[in-house]
Amino acid sequence: MSAPPAEQESFCTQENESMSLSESLFLSKLNEGLNYVHKVHYQKEEDGSSSSASGLICPTGNDFQLSDGASIAALLQIATDSDLTFTFNSRRCGEYCFESNRKNGRMVVFGDTGAEIRVAQKIGDEEVSVETWRKSDWPQFCWAVRGACVHFLKV
């Protein structure tokens, strides 16, 4: 049995509003990060200093959060540069996932736990390797992400 058409329509409308709210939140965070990146990049061009290897600037030191717009933008750029699919899943503490575009069932999953990043390599639903990385330098983290993804996913 299904709900009356009026109830179905109301549910669909609420679902669409909910989805657009979360999409809106994601896009605002991403824009916030891109505006920060653009502002810092412009300042760096003026003073002649260099930027990170990915071309994106993010907070230095260990104070970065994967949920920051600038961090998401950098992770998206890594996925683009490496020809990978980047997704977010709200399981646990929020998982930032990279997988091969070849759909071989392999995935590298990053979870921000505060002072550390949980890194899991998965084949299908099975975690075959789990590491914990202590946060340190943002550019170093970006290179570690690239290395972990290329090593595990480009097999």
pLDDT tens readout for residues 6-44: 554 444 444 444 444 555 555 555 555 545 444 444 444
Q: Distance between CA 69 and CA 90 in Å, rounded?
A: 16
pTM of the model: 0.64
Structure confidence by residue, pLDDT tens digits, 111-152: 999 899 999 999 999 999 999 999 989 999 999 999 999 999
How many DSSP H helices and E strands does the chain contain? 3, 5
* Structural domain total, the chain: 1
55 torsion bin: left (phi>0), alpha (psi -120 to 50), beta (else): left
Sheet holding 126-134, edge to edge: 84-89, 95-100, 106-112, 116-123, 126-134
Domain that holds residue 47: 5-153
